[in-house]
Structure 1
């Protein structure tokens, strides 16, 4: 792994983790599904337009189209849609912690579904990750955590796991920006349906909403996703997944700094254990 790949991974981790804080701000002022559908519409149109200006084609391979649909539905519509709804009632730091278990779930799924062998270091990482989650959830459930919102986050991270397992098909054959734009349009199309059916377009306009929405469209939306595809293409999906271990640390740190969310001692210990577990699982896959 070269220096450029490391910088790309660090940038991705920071951008991806920051999305929880900006999303928490957005849902305080706007209905979550409307906001997310509109965000993906803007990001998708801008991404496709920019890709065409760069000479990229939307004539993708069959594997790419399948992966774009799966990624758009699983990550954008289900994962982010459910997280946006959940963050109306739970803190951004908790949502980031739940989402950070995705690499652990990918490891378990790879073992159970694809028969991938796990080395002792990987098994230790999975166990450590589960212990970390148990510590955090045990401490949080003694407080005033909204169980419905927490449940939505759990379903969301399962959807993200499916999306991650499909990313290999979308990262081969080039046209990365076009793929990013198209999968965002897929997510937008899926989100407009429940938004129109179940939500009222009631927006409280403020500079906080405008800044958070603009940031979410550009940085976690286009920027982080594009960097991820380039990173997977450069070093492979398994080595790239190592950088997901940054999500719990960056996610809770940004939420604490910008939103003033309080972190207990069990939160900090749990995050460190989960981070170490994720790193161990990913390093166990390296040759």
Structure 2
């Protein structure tokens, strides 16, 4: 892995993890699905415009279209939609911890549904990673963590697992920025219907909401997604996903720094265990060094 790929991976992990804190700020002052649909509309239009300026086309291959639609529905519609709803009731750090189990859930899904063989290191990583999550969530549920919000985050992580399994087809064949923009527009369309049907469209326009909306739209939304696609193209999905082991740390650290969310000893131990488990799973997939 070269130095540029390392910087890209670190940048992606930080930007992706910061989205939980900015989302928590947004849902305090605006309906979650409406704000998320608006975010995807803005970032999608920007992404498509940038793609055209870069000479890209929306004439994608059939595999790209299929994967882009699945990715837009599962990640932007289901995963982020459920997380935004959940963060009306739970802390950003809790949502980040649950979402960080993505590499573990992908590995488990590969074993259960596709017959992937798991090395002993991967099995140990799965046990450790999910054990760390159970440790943290058990302690927090005992301290009043909302069960419904927690369940929504788990369902969201499952949707993200499906989106990740569809990623390879969307990131091959070029037109990366166009794919990024189009899957965001798909997410906007998916979310606006439920928002109009079920939400009270009341927005309290505050400086915090404006800044958080702009940041979420441009950084975790547009920049992080583009960096992820480029990272996968550069070093592959397996090596790229290794950087997800940093998400639990970044997620809880940013929430603690900007939102003042408290971290107990159990949280710190659990995060360390999850990080070790994710790293073990990803390292077990890496090809041997030559």
Structure 2 match to 1:151: 151
SS in 2 for 1:27: helix
Post-superposition offset of 1:86: 0.3
- How is 1:232-247 mapped onto 2 (pairs within 5 angstroms)? 232-247=232-247
Say whether 1:18 aligns with 2:15.
no
Structure 2 match to 1:253: 253
Structure 2 match to 1:198: 198
Structure 1 match to 2:98: 98
Post-superposition offset of 1:42: 0.2
Give the whole-Å Cα distance in 2 for the aligned partners of 1:284 and 1:145. Answer: 33
SS in 2 for 1:64: helix
Q: What's the TM-score once normalised by structure 1's chain length?
A: 0.99
Structure 2 match to 1:123: 123
Structure 1 match to 2:34: 34
Which is worse superposed, 247-256 or 136-145? 136-145
SS in 1 for 2:28: coil
Q: Once the two structures are superposed, what CA deviation does each residue of 1:194-245 show, in whole Å capped at 9, x if it has no partner?
A: 0010112101111000100000000000000000000001111111100111
Post-superposition offset of 1:59: 0.1
Structure 1 match to 2:224: 224
Post-superposition offset of 1:141: 1.2
Structure 2 match to 1:50: 50
Q: Once the two structures are superposed, what CA deviation does each residue of 1:232-262 show, in whole Å capped at 9, x if it has no partner?
A: 0111111110011111000000000000000
Gaps of 5+ in 2: none
Structure 2 match to 1:178: 178
Report how many residues are paired.
Answer: 287
TM-align CA RMSD: 0.6
Post-superposition offset of 1:138: 1.3
Give the whole-Å Cα distance in 1 for the aligned partners of 2:53 and 2:132. Answer: 46
SS in 2 for 1:28: helix
